[in-house]
Structure 1
Amino acid sequence: MKKLKIVTIGGGSSYTPELIEGFINRQDQLNIGEIWLVDIEDGKEKLEIVGEMAKRMVKAAGLDWQVHLTLDRREALKDADFVTTQFRVGLLDARIRDERIPYKYGMIGQETNGAGGIFKALRTIPVILGIIKDMEELCPNAWLVNFTNPAGMVTEAAIKVGGWKKTVGLCNVPIGSYKMNHKVMNNEDETLYHKYAGLNHFHWHRVWDKDGVEVTDQIIEKVFNLEEGAEAIAEVANIQKIPFTYEQIKSLGMLPCGYHRYYYITDLMFESGLEDYKKNQTRAEVVKQTEKELFELYKDPALDYKPEQLTKRGGTHYSDAACELICSIVNDKKTVMVVSTQNKGTIDDLPYDSIVEVTSYITAHGPEPLNWGSFGPEARGMLQLMKSMEELVIKAAVTGDYNTALQAFTINPLVTSGKIAKELLDEMLVANKHYLPQFASKIAELEAKGVTYIPS
């Protein structure tokens, strides 16, 4: 059997130990020969730290895999079988700006939602398309497994713009809700059946027990019908635990994604986020400190396993999901997973070729999504609006067209439209000028008019 070559772009990420652990746990199912961890010059120190730890983990497992560290992406990609992406353009400082600048204008700042999410996509999409250009030449048969956020938009750009059909997007949020639901239902055997549909960070799901009885309403009662003042149950660490409006969720009849808080209880999420902003404790600022502590741990030459502290990072389960996805493709396991993939008629309310996040069988030829059908009006309109917004963001990222970016801002539910949206867009463009070459002429024009980025 051919030995697999797996390449990870963004190999200096704090998540890499979980990725290595996931591969080690599947050593009997994956015939791995080489793992290449790739990063950029600014990430060199972290790459060396986490890369040496990865080597220790492989050695401790008694495996002969070759772990390579490099800043040369093209060297790594040659003849790769799988390419995973977990990079952050602009590093955490860019995320901090994404989260802080909108609050200056009275809007929510968040990594993958609202203005911050749009700018993360504008920085990231050109880079994923550049990776695909290299893959076309160096590893034309490789699978691209993306868990770089915003995962849905990045995956859609890879497939629809880059033409890389063998692309699958991943997110840890469905895994978190899957585990949460089993816990609240006291189902230790994890036999509940889940069905998800929507977009990345904007999906809904329903649940059945092993006898085929739907238990969605029971979970709604346990998770959302809380006494006044009770803390909400959250499936991911990076979202404030603010309770949803019970009556609205009960009427919805589906379980929302944790990120729906930004759309269903916008006022409460803004108030909570604003307090964090004032204390210089936005999620990105907290994560930056957490990462600093993690990398101090990773430096320990005796550490040859994933530390428990990694679960505080907020993205736990991402990497393990990537390993299972690869394992299912290699072995045609037909594992049921929630992934970002082509709609193919799964959701009646969206275009056939749009990228959706849905429950799928993972086969040797990729995901086969399970039919959902149509959403009711309580979800359908929001879903279609968000997909339209994503399409505009992708177009703006590829073309550098200012007016398209402004249209995306205008229809995004978390961005206040009008003059203030334009002012926010202008400052965020200037703040990101080093990472947005496609907007270079517009940014120069804005700076000539006196637009500046003033850190707050």
Structure 2
Amino acid sequence: MKLTVVGGGSTYTPELVDGFARLRDTLPVEELVLVDPAAERLELVGGLARRIFAKQGHPGRIVTTSDLDAGVEGADAVLLQLRVGGQAARLQDETWPLECGCIGQETTGAGGLAKALRTVPVVLDIAERVRRTNPDAWIIDFTNPVGIVTRALLQAGHRTVGLCNVAIGFQRKFAALLGVAPADVHLDHVGLNHLTWETGVRLGGPEGENVLPKLLAEHGDAVADDLRLPRTLVDRLGVVPSYYLRYYYAHDEVVRDLRTKRSRAAEVAAMEKQLLEMYGDPALDEKPELLARRGGAYYSEAAVDLAASLLGGGGSPYQVVNTYNKGTLPFLPDDAVVEVQAAIGSHGPAPLPVPAVDPLYAGLMANVTAYEDLALEAALRGGRDRVFRALLAHPLIGQYAYADTLTDQLIAHNREHLAWA
């Protein structure tokens, strides 16, 4: 089995490699190819990756290359984890929206739109090159904004599934609080990427006992603290919102915080510099502890599980993924991309039935889906008016004066990445 990681020079990659090494019985990778245009960075990551495989006795071969076509040729699955513009672009995404009093964040609001506009054309070009060399390959998208990028790939006819680590993070945390194995926890996870709610926590599978009320009664303070939301709000909702919902439920508070604190992009850039120095140490043969603070917790387990199921291996029968709605949430279009539990097999994901969704959540999902429609149109066709319409539609913006100003700011800060600008 050959797997290719596009964006293989990312400091995330040793987390992924560690998962491939530990879980080789689930996903027997014979060749792992790391593709990245940053050759020096790629060699640092690739060197550590080989040492991790060697330490854990993995017989697979690790190849590094800057040649995308060679890297994806013959791959059974291609994982996308790229960041167009790097951390410098992320820093901008987190900064200029704050001038209008709007959230500055890399996947939500104006910053998220900027990332989508930079990313969608690049990802579609990569996917076309994968299709030319191996049309049967699965494309697993971990590149943000996952919902918009996955929808672009699906609309273009690619065999793709979107992946996020939010659900597996909740699964692990809830399992620890309940004192059970993670595999015993099944989430009633519903929404869009980075706009999700856990409406049930079941033990043993989709038909198992819902212990969410017990979880909130006994561990509500811990859950609320992790979300950085008041316990009273979590109790009133009766569900567990993704921590990304804090941008909606506490928007002004978050803006005040972001204006006074060091940006996440600056923190990550500093971490990445330190991590790359560590990766260059020939004595290092395991992922460093610092990597856990970089983000992407449990990404490797989720990626291995999904790839194994898609490629006919021993992955979990049910996994949370991003895929076409196709009636799963009847209040959204069939071609919307939703993030829900699905049965996974070599045919791809088949979403499980979802109980009726409370209008409190359905309304916000519908609003953000409309924004994502317009965002994808702007990413595919360009133009100032399309950018403006997408920003005006976003529930975190919504005022024409803000949308106008943010449109000009977005284009000015991203001109080098926008072919039409």
Shorter-chain TM-score range: over 0.9
Spell out, residue by residue over 1:17-65, the C-alpha distance to the aligned partner (whole angstroms, 9 max, x if none): 111111112223434222111112xx22211100111111222233332
SS state at 1:432 partner = helix
Instruction: Kindly indicate whether the alpha-carbon contact (under 8 Å) linking 1:29 and 1:331 is maintained by their aligned counterparts in 2.
Output: no
Q: Letter of the aligned partner of 1:176 in structure 2?
A: G
Give the partner amino acid of 2:275. Answer: L
Determine the C-alpha separation between the residues in 2 that align with 1:269 and 1:132: 36
Alignment of 1:352-431 (within 5 A): 352-431=334-413
**What is the CA–CA distance in structure 2 between the aligned matches of 1:203 and 1:114, rounded to whole Å?**
16
Where 2:188 maps in the other structure, the secondary structure is strand
Q: Counterpart amino acid of 1:314?
A: G
The one-letter amino acid of 1:146's match is D
Aligned residue identity for 2:34: L
Contact in 1 for aligned 2:3/2:77 (Cα 8 Å): yes
Counterpart contact for 2:8–2:36, Cα < 8 Å: yes
Q: Which residue of 1 aligns with 2:27?
A: 30
Matched, 1:18 2:3: no
Number of residues of Structure 1 aligned to a counterpart in Structure 2:
417
Q: Which of 329, 337, 342 is the matching residue for 1:347?
A: 329
- Quote the residue 2:168 is aligned against: 175
- Is it true that 1:126 corresponds to 2:121 in the alignment? yes
Over residues 149-176 of structure 1, what are the superposed CA-to-partner deviations in whole Å (9 max), with x where a residue is unaligned?
111111011001x211x20111111111
Question: 1:284 Cα shift?
Answer: 0.7
Deviation sequence 1:168-209 (CA, Å, 0-9, x none): 111111111112222333435763331111100101121134
What secondary structure sits across from 2:63 in the alignment? strand
Deviation at 1:224, TM superposition (A): 4.5
Q: Is it true that 1:70 corresponds to 2:86 in the alignment?
A: no
Aligned to 2:299: 318
Matching of residue 246 in structure 1 with residue 232 in structure 2? yes
1:267 counterpart (239, 247, 252): 252
Residue 8 of structure 1 aligns to a residue whose secondary structure is strand
Distance 1:266 1:245, change over 3 A: farther
* C-alpha displacement of 1:363: 0.9
1:219 to 210, 215, 221: 215
Distance in 1 (alpha carbons) for counterparts of 2:309 and 2:321: 13
Alpha-carbon deviations, 1:318-354, whole Å to 9, x = none? 2331112111222354532111011222212212222
Between the two proteins, what is the percent identity of the paired residues? 38
Which residue does the alignment assign to 2:273?
Answer: 292
Deviation at 1:253, TM superposition (A): 2.9
Contact 2:27 2:313 (8 Å CA) reproduced: no
Distance in 2 separating the partners of 1:419 and 1:133: 38
Taking structure 1 as reference, are residues 365 and 95 closer, same or farther at Cα in structure 2, changes over 3 Å only? same
Following the alignment from structure 2 to structure 1, what is the Cα–Cα distance between the partners of residues 400 and 220? 35
Please list every run of 5 or more consecutive structure 1 residues that lacks an aligned counterpart in the other structure: 235-240, 441-456
Contact 2:35 2:65 survives alignment (8 Å) = yes
Paired with 2:299 and 2:389, the residues of 1 have a C-alpha distance of 32
Q: Which residue of 2 aligns with 1:5?
A: 2
Other structure's SS at 1:331 match: coil
Show the 5 A alignment for 1:83-94: 83-94=78-89
Instruction: Look up the match of 2:415.
Output: 433
Q: Does 1:307 align with 2:288?
A: yes
1:79–1:176 CA distance, 2 compared to 1 (3 A)? same
Q: Which amino acid aligns with 1:54?
A: A
Deviations 1:375-402 (A, max 9, x none): 1211111110001101110110000132
The Cα shift of 1:435 comes to 0.9
TM value normalised by structure 2: 0.94
User: Structure 1 pair 183/84, CA: closer, same or farther in 2 (3 Å)?
Assistant: same
* SS of residue matched to 1:421: helix
Distance in 1 (CA, whole Å) between partners of 2:21 and 2:177 is 30
Residues of 1 paired with 2:98 and 2:122: CA distance?
A: 27
Give unpaired runs (5+ residues) of structure 2: none
The one-letter code sitting in structure 2 at the alignment partner of 1:265 is A
1:39 maps onto 2:26 in alignment: no
Measured in 2, the distance between the counterparts of 1:332 and 1:66 equals: 20
CA separation in 2, counterparts of 1:79 and 1:168? 19
TM-score by length of 1: 0.87
Q: Which amino acid aligns with 1:181?
A: F
